[in-house]
Amino acid sequence: MDDLRDKYISAISGAADEAALEDLRVQAVGKKGEVSLKMRELGKMTPEERQVAGPALNALKDEINSALSAKKAALADAALNERLKTEWLDVSLPARERRVGTIHPVSQVSEEVTAIFADMGFAVAEGPQIESDWYNFDALNIPGHHPARAEMDTFYTHRAEGDNRPPHVLRTHTSPVQIRSMEAQGAPIRVICPGRVYRADYDQTHTPMFHQVEGLAIDTDISMANLKWVLEEFCRAFFEVDGVELRFRASHFPFTEPSAEVDIRCSWEGGTLKLGEGDDWLEILGSGMVHPKVLEAGGIDPAKYQGFAFGMGIDRIAMLKYGIPDLRAFFDSDLRWLRHYGFAALDQPSLQGGLSR
Ligand code: DAH
């Protein structure tokens, strides 16, 4: 019996395939197999012999059967592994880059500006691009004869023949949203108003459509100091340059009193613009304390409330921050320009995650 066991167990472990295994099964435990024949001989044995040989033969048969099925499973595993090797696929390969477009610098900068002012408690407000004379001018203390009206290079719409109401205008600045926001919300209020504005002008730094962002903060205890802090805080965050330096220069706007223009320190050395160093100054925005007449036009009592406002060119600060030399290219829809100056579609500017990565 030991000889039989040695013979078949080693033959089974060396079997090359399922057919060889089947042959071995027939030879060992098939109807006429060696183990089966031995079992038939049990009948000729004495009861004592049978008591020893019977269980031993059964055990041998079981052992051979389980060796057969273990080997069968091992052969199947090996075959599967062989097949998997030929069907192997590396799913860890990086995906092929696919262009899904880029974010335009104007959108990017609008998002950056919004993220910074949102962090200081400003909400975003919007107004129409086709605006009435009243909101664009009169309510902002720019009456009909005022030279600022002429300076704005305004696009006027046409009224129908015989309609003598003043024409609507393409808004020349985002300041009318100040009035609309005051009317809608009253005081206190803190909003920024980004959007498109229009002026008849065209050269390297002027296009007939461009973008501004207006800021407005009104409360019972607001001063120039608050304005200065907010703007400095904004510039530090926006330009992402250590030691950005601002200069507040006295100026005049009809809708603010006093008024200040804000310049940023820069250098043009070697023909490239660097912020925060050098002896040049670049104007980036207009600002001031909201004129009492403007508060009144917005339905807010100037005896009780006061506030600051500012207006900034979005395209202009985009050019400064990202070193873009010509404003006109912003609106050419040239794909090469967009790919060069654009931003990844899925990067959202945030103060935590980084404004511009
Ligand atoms: N509206 C002005 C412009 O378009 C910019 C501006 C200046 C806005 C001063 C303001 C301000 O709110 O206070 O040139």
Average pLDDT of the segment spanning 126-141: 96
**What average pLDDT does the structure give for the chain?**
92
The per-residue pLDDT for 350 is 81
| Distance (Å, whole) CA 357 – CA 344 | 9
Nearest protein CA to atom 6 of ligand 1, as residue: 311
In the three-class reduction of DSSP (H, G, I as helix; E, B as strand; rest coil), residue 289 is classed as strand
pLDDT band at 212 (very low <50, low <70, confident <90, very high): very high
Q: What is the pLDDT of residues 251-260, one digit of tens each?
A: 999 999 999 9
Tokens coding 135: 């909101």
**246 Cβ closer than 6 Å to some ligand 1 atom:** no
The per-residue pLDDT for 346 is 74
Average pLDDT of the segment spanning 302-320: 96
**199 Cβ closer than 6 Å to some ligand 1 atom:** no
Please give the distance, rounded to the nearest whole angstrom, from the Cα atom of residue 253 to the centre of ligand 1: 7
pLDDT at 278 > cutoff 80: yes
Beta pairing class for 189-198 and 209-219: antiparallel
Please give the distance, rounded to the nearest whole angstrom, from the Cα atom of residue 326 to the centre of ligand 1: 23
**253 Cβ closer than 6 Å to some ligand 1 atom:** yes
pLDDT at 77 > cutoff 80: yes
| Distance (Å, whole) CA 142 – CA 145 | 8
H-helix segments, the chain: 2-14, 18-29, 34-40, 47-86, 105-119, 133-136, 147-151, 176-185, 224-239, 292-297, 314-322, 335-341
The per-residue pLDDT for 357 is 61
**262 Cβ closer than 6 Å to some ligand 1 atom:** no
The per-residue pLDDT for 101 is 84
Q: Which atom of ligand 1 is nearest to the CA of 140?
A: 1
The per-residue pLDDT for 94 is 79
pLDDT band at 242 (very low <50, low <70, confident <90, very high): confident
Residue labelled with tokens 């993220």: 115
Cβ proximity of 111 and 124 under 8 Å: no
Q: Which has more confidence, 355 or 28?
A: 28
| Closest by Cα among 121, 139, 223 to 175 | 139
Average pLDDT of the segment spanning 34-50: 88
**214 Cβ closer than 6 Å to some ligand 1 atom:** yes
% residues pLDDT > 70 (the chain): 99
The per-residue pLDDT for 183 is 98
Architecture of domain 102-344: 2-Layer Sandwich (3.30)
Average pLDDT of the segment spanning 275-289: 92
pLDDT at 162 > cutoff 80: yes
Average pLDDT of the segment spanning 32-48: 89
Range of weakest confidence among 53-57, 93-97, 212-216, 282-286: 93-97
Contacts of 53 (CB under 8 A, 6+ apart): 42, 45
Average pLDDT of the segment spanning 20-38: 91
**309 Cβ closer than 6 Å to some ligand 1 atom:** yes
**287 Cβ closer than 6 Å to some ligand 1 atom:** yes
Whole-model pTM?
Answer: 0.72
pLDDT at 127 > cutoff 90: yes
